[in-house]
């Protein structure tokens, strides 16, 4: 009986000592960075072990995700929705690429036909008329001009040295610049310099749409026409 009492006393003393020791040690506090690290580790584990949910399929139905329209949804439902959204995005991208391909084919065919017409021109007047009519008819441009720049013409000289300093200009012009180049106000323009062999010559195209020509557009189309003009003008 005495042994039993002594044993109980020893257990009580040990429990009290353990409790006192625990009271002296600070409880660990998890910071937001620790939680973020744990989430990162979980994410990495799931990415490296994609079969995890195959081993625990009940988790797919047990996990709930917030949805802005339907409230809480299961992980399976959320995955299906994400896949449908991705399929829709891919379909839109494919449609956009097909549209671009169609436009590129249209431009290619136009440039090929225009090249053949230009090569048949016998004088400068016929060349101007061919280029102008072709561009207006195909793309609905309002003005197509070949303009020789003379230094005594301060307005044209300013456009030559400032607007098309880099060789091309796409965008809008001031009212006075529009009237000097095209004789009237226009929405937006594409300007390019011909080669030095032809002197200071501007090839300009105008659209009634203010947003048709913009600084970020590609200049390959006009580069090809410019090269044709550079090839033909010295012959006249």
What's the pLDDT score for residue 214?
95
pLDDT digits (tens, 9 = 90+) for 132-156: 999 999 999 999 999 999 877 888 9
Residues of the chain short of pLDDT 50, as ranges, are 1-5, 7-8, 11, 14-15, 17-19, 21-25, 27
163 CB contacts (<8 Å, ≥6 apart)?
Answer: 169, 173, 177, 191
Is residue 201 within 8 Å of residue 193, measured between CB atoms?
yes
What's the pLDDT score for residue 51?
85
Helix, strand, or coil (residue 193): strand
Is residue 202 within 8 Å of residue 192, measured between CB atoms?
yes
Q: Which helix (H) or strand (E) holds 181?
A: helix 175-182
197 CB contacts (<8 Å, ≥6 apart)?
Answer: 230, 234
Is residue 42 within 8 Å of residue 63, measured between CB atoms?
no
The pTM of this model reads: 0.62
What's the pLDDT score for residue 71?
58
What's the pLDDT score for residue 81?
80
What's the pLDDT score for residue 75?
67
CA angle in degrees (0–180, nearest 5) for 143-193-122: 65
What's the pLDDT score for residue 34?
55
The residue to which tokens 């449908």 are assigned:
84
């Amino acid at each position: 009986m005495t042994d039993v009492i002594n044993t109980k006393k020893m257990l009580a003393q040990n429990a009290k000592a353990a409790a006192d020791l625990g009271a002296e040690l600070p409880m660990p506090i998890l910071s937001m960075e620790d939680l973020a690290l744990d989430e990162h580790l979980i994410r990495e584990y799931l990415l490296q072990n994609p079969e995890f949910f195959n081993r625990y399929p009940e988790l797919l139905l047990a996990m709930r995700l917030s949805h802005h329209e339907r409230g809480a949804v299961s992980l399976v439902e959320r995955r299906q929705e994400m896949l449908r959204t991705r399929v829709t995005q891919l379909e839109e991208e494919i449609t956009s690429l097909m549209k671009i391909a169609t436009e590129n084919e249209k431009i290619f065919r136009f440039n090929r036909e225009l090249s053949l017409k230009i090569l048949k021109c016998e004088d400068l007047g016929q060349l101007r008329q061919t280029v102008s009519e072709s561009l207006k008819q195909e793309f609905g441009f309002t003005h197509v001009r070949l303009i020789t720049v003379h230094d005594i013409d301060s307005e044209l000289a300013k456009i030559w040295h400032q607007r098309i300093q880099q060789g091309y200009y796409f965008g809008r012009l001031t009212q006075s610049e529009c009237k000097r180049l095209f004789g009237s106000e226009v929405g937006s323009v594409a300007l390019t310099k011909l080669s030095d062999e032809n002197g200071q010559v501007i090839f300009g195209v105008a659209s009634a749409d203010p947003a048709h020509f913009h600084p970020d557009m590609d200049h390959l189309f006009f580069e090809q026409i410019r090269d044709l003009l550079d090839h033909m003008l010295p012959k006249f």
